[in-house]
Structure 1
């Protein structure tokens, strides 16, 4: 009875019957700079496979984040007996960047400002993956202050975009001119401000 069900040409596994099966899915990691993940678009990538170096044109969705998978249908392993190929999943890895630090969809960038800009307030430019932006530095800003630019991080096609955080860093001239040095000396004589006392007071208030 079993032989009648599974044997011969009518059976799925008997002689003369061609067996087909879909190919296995594959995974590979690709490294992308944050500028590419921000803008998205068509990119040509090179993958090392058992058959050698393989080039693919891949559409990178705008706003992909580290660890996200991009599915390439029919680019996986070959099928058996004419079966369809499997899929290839590209796992995105963000390359380290000299200026940007990425956390999910949020991006942090250092914002160099002059001492007078930090003291008096100023509207200064900041470089972002999507282009240069203007950020308002409030008067009295110290180094380390984070200024949030809502929605200026990595875009999100299915929801809310990340934020850009500009972190204030006060930079002084390495070699001040004689006039600049004279101004610093006048400020030192005129000001009673003690940054160490102010910091101690702030830390005491948080305890």
Structure 2
């Protein structure tokens, strides 16, 4: 049976004896091998990164099971031209300009091309007497999971004197910021929390 293309997909030749079920099975196996067969189990990060580009596709998943660096083990998704760890996705965010003013607790995951982030920040330094729509950058978003929108503000829950919805988080393609919706004071011990998701 001849093959065609970078992935060497088989196809029946005009001289081959007709065998539709067998030919389709051979083609299905070749396609499954080329696209990774769902969630691949891979021994090491180096092996994962060595998979040829012709076999990769957006949203492909793999699990590293036996890397000598324990922190490399876990689930990965191929997105934006790179393998992104799902196990430690929250570690991809760099601290923003005002991150040191807050204790930041975050938990993130990826489903397809959607990032889901649970975020809670607690003020640690002196009170911030914020004007409405001012902002303080907390986290920088890496390019491979950057939102496909310009800016949006997500309402949050907070324990502020001005009310539980006086503040939110603004998400831009490069950062997540605290964004007071009304003039308010964010005192030491005040928390702000929200669940946020975006497509990237």
Instruction: Work out which of the two has the higher radius of gyration on C-alpha atoms and give 1 or 2.
Output: 1
TM more than 0.5:
no
TM, length-normalised to structure 2: 0.30
**Structure 1-normalised TM-score?**
0.29
Q: Which has the higher strand share?
A: 2
